[in-house]
Amino acid sequence: MAAPVDSVGKPTAERSPFNSTSFQKKTRSKLISIPGTRPSVQNGQLLVSTGVTSLDYLLGGGLAVGTVLLIEEDRYDSYSRMILKYFLAEGVVCRHELFVAAAQDNPDDILQELPAPILDDVAIHKPVDQPRLSCEPQDSLDAMKIAWRYQNLPKVQSALASTSRFGHYYDVSKTMEPEIRQAAKCHRFYLPEHPTQTSSYSALLKSLQEVIHREGFDVPRSRNILRVGLHSLGSALWGDDLSCHDNPRHSHALTTFLYGLRALLRSSLSVAVVTVPSHLIQDRALMGSITRLCDNAIALESFKGSERETNPLYKDYHGLLHVHQVPHLNCLANQLPDHKDLAFKLKRKQFTIEGFWFECSHVGATKNKHSSAMSAKEDNGPSPSPLID
């Protein structure tokens, strides 16, 4: 749209109302924008990413701040630990603060195994690169001829551009570089360092509350999120006999802790991921009350070591994922995922979760000696095998 020549030099306010629109964008938003969060489209709650994009989709867009995600571990604790590491790595990339608690491994070991993020541009903290770029001569090979107006803009995207995205991808074959990891503030709780007479869960709750209060996450004007990762609660190393006996003596120690955790999270800007070895807990009613005290609950069942590992039907996947609970906070209805049968696969650059169903094989493909999964691939295109025997 060509503006008339005489109005180009005038300031906007003096233009006649017939030539320009009086639209002004209202930036009076009440939500404080914290990097790495976004409001939910369903009920306006603040969401953070779990680090796994397909899991975010399952949970309704992300993990709501103030809630707990319960992950029932798979038998060898490989994939649940992976999701915990994704969660913590996402916190590092978004510059949230971390709180890691474990009884078996040192939290420092968990933090050293975080996967490396795949960023499009230069990594977050390399300020030494900037002066080098700016003293390149302007008439270098990069001199722009068509888009010359953009010549003077910095060549590197600022770090904020990558952290304002919601959800990142990680390369699990590499670990996160120490400079990136050390830039994030991590609080640790390693149980052998806290010998207590009282239950270890109350020591953990007290420590978490101290961190929240000291770093100011419970103040209404807090500007950052605390990500809490609790590894393998309910295992015997936490001083709990839930996983050892059919009728544990203190069956309510873990549930009381989860109640206190919910109280802490609801009153502060934090989010927690808890993994529980549910395959060791025999009491189903107890598992039910643990699930109800957490807001989101998923269970992982990996195929490793079972006969399903060699079953051709499951050959594309590493395991099954069950969604046991999705919260409906601040609203009446909740959004369960459409598919109830979900399977996951850990690839190098992505953890995918897909709806899973058995493919019916072609009539003619049964003559093939290849597995039926082959016919699943042929379903999408014209099948070369004859339809009639």
Partner 1 sequence: MFTELNSILNSTPDSFTRKEFVLLSDRQSDASFLIHHFLSFYLRARCKVCFLGLVQSFSHYSAISQRLGVSLTQAKEKGQLIFLEGLKESLSILIPQEGNAESQAVDFLRDPTVGLRCLYEFVQSSLSSSGGGEDGTEEWGPPVLLVDDISVLLSLGVNAGAVLDFSHYCRATVCSQLQGNMVMLVRCDGEEEGDDGDDEGPELLLKGLTHQCSLTLHVQGLPTGYCRDIHGQVEVCWRRRQGDGQHTQKKLFQYKVHDKGASFFARGTSSAVL
Minimum Å distance from CB 236 to partner 1?
20
Does 387 sit near partner 1 (CB under 8 A)? no
- Per the listing, tokens 């953070």 go with 48
User: Strands 63-64, 46-48: parallel, antiparallel or unpaired by DSSP?
Assistant: antiparallel
With CB under 8 A as the contact rule, the residue among 32, 144, 219, 336 that binds partner 1 is 336
- Backbone φ and ψ for 352, nearest 5 degrees, come out as -100, 145
**Residue 188 or residue 262: which is nearer to partner 1 going by CB?**
262
Pair of tokens at residue 49: 């990413």
- Identity of the residue numbered 105: D
Between residue 272 and residue 311, which ones bind partner 1 under the rule CB under 8 A?
Answer: 283-285, 288-289, 292-293
Minimum Å distance from CB 210 to partner 1?
9
Does 256 sit near partner 1 (CB under 8 A)? yes
The site that binds partner 1 (CB under 8 A) totals a number of residues, namely: 32
User: How many Cα atoms sit within 13 Å of 122 on the Cβ side?
Assistant: 13
Does 222 sit near partner 1 (CB under 8 A)? no
Minimum Å distance from CB 60 to partner 1?
14
Using CA atoms, how far apart are residues 107 and 306, in angstroms rounded to an integer?
Answer: 30
Does 340 sit near partner 1 (CB under 8 A)? yes
Does 329 sit near partner 1 (CB under 8 A)? yes
Does 39 sit near partner 1 (CB under 8 A)? no
Q: 15: phi > 0 → left, psi -120 to 50 → alpha, else beta; which?
A: beta
* C-beta separation of 97 from 187 below 8 A: yes
Minimum Å distance from CB 131 to partner 1?
49
Using CA atoms, how far apart are residues 350 and 168, in angstroms rounded to an integer?
Answer: 10
CA dihedral 231, 291, 94, 224 (to 10 degrees): -100
With CB under 8 A as the contact rule, the residue among 206, 279, 308, 345 that binds partner 1 is 206
Crossing angle for the helix pair 200-215 and 253-266, to the nearest 10 degrees: 10
**Residue 288 or residue 386: which is nearer to partner 1 going by CB?**
288
**Residue 31 or residue 133: which is nearer to partner 1 going by CB?**
31
Segment (H or E) for 210 = helix 200-215
The residues binding partner 1 (CB under 8 A) are: 202, 205-206, 209, 247, 252, 255-256, 259-260, 262-264, 266-267, 283-285, 288-289, 292-293, 328-334, 336, 338, 340
